[in-house]
Amino acid sequence: MLSPSTAPQPQLSPPSPSRRGCIYLDGHATTPVDPRVLETMLPFFSESFGNPASRTHVYGWRAEEAVERARGEIAGLLGVNSKEVIFTSGATESNNLAIFGTAGACREQGNHLVTSAIEHHSVLGPFRQLEKQGFQVTYLQPSRTGAITAAQVAGAITPRTILVSIMAAHNEIGTIYPLAEIARACAERRIRFHTDAAQAVGKIPLEVPSLGIDLLSLTGHKLYGPKGTGALVIRTKSPRLQLQPLIHGGGHERGLRSGTLNVPGIVGLGAACRIAREEMEGEARRLRGLRDRLHQGICSQLEDLSLNGHPERRLPGNLNLSFGGVEGESLIVSLRDIAVSSGAACTSAKPEPSYVLKAIGLDSDRAHSSLRFGLGRFTTAEEIEYVIKRVVETVKRLRDLASAVKNRGIPDQPTSSDH
């Protein structure tokens, strides 16, 4: 039987692109599990399957050892104490615990919260719910590049503010936020600062203590770990930072998140963080090169394009472009051999423009014409060259078709969002 400390961790090759069916460039939605992560997880499904709360036999001891090692691997990536890492089911739960947990614990101190208008739904949703319970929320408006400044945050804080929540890097437009400056503005007023770092952890350096972050959310499936596993980092302060738990029961995770721990998932998250710590710098450099080649290759052959998000302070693998004269959903339908996402989110039968792109100043037509490319660990230079060729030829064809329809006076046909 393999113990966690002796389980092999071979250096496996990534899956061949030819076996995927299509080129995957939707890395902000999710990432494939790294084969090295999967190999680390496998023994904990069948051989070392114990419950870490069972402390009377070797199966429980081995599971607990594996969980604590993973906790240390996550802490090592973020520069925190392992006791500050609380395991959850993912970033959505972590965000909810940070926001509702603070609201419940600090209700007597104030009822005002600050966030941005372009946060992920797992942050905006809790704030909308708290508004129904009598809390007041200030939604900061971003610049044209999606930026939120520390001055905006400082200007929004009131004597009744108890929490500021600004993401670390944007999931749609890739903009990276000035966490240290925002945290400093919060610390000067003794306000808790939470960041949803789901898109940033493992992609850019995040040294939590030096940044001054109080609460940080992360998830496994955005950094080549398993889905359904995440964590909330809760900095130890004096006095200790208190949260009201969302889930009650067995008092697991120091009473903040009851429920039997997902040991294989936690082991995978830890392994993913260990690999990220070792390889992040080189991987980011490679992805920036591929992303810039993709951007240059498309822009050199097409006109009427615009970049969404900050041109420099953006995630290494993110490229969000608007293509004038082309509807984003039509472009995606025509690029079935490339997995990308549109800036438009379809709800029922009506495609709505991205609330993020609208917030940074794009009109509906421009917002509808956007594509988000999310490059990742297994993206190759050969794939990027293929994508450049396919995107350019497809945009030209769709523009020619639209022009022909307009010149002939034929009404445009509605584009199906069911694809």
Instruction: State the Cα–Cα distance between residues 170 and 142, nearest whole angstrom.
Output: 12
Q: What are phi and psi of 47, to 5 degrees?
A: -90, -55
Catalytic residue, from 106, 273, 299, 346: name it: 346
Contacts for 409 with CB less than 8 Å, ≥ 6 apart: none
Q: Is the peptide bond before 142 cis (omega within 30 degrees of 0)?
A: no
Residue 44 sits at φ, ψ, to 5 deg, of -85, 0
Active-site residue, 299 included: no
> CB of 150 within 8 A of CB of 180?
no
Residue positions annotated with a catalytic role = 346
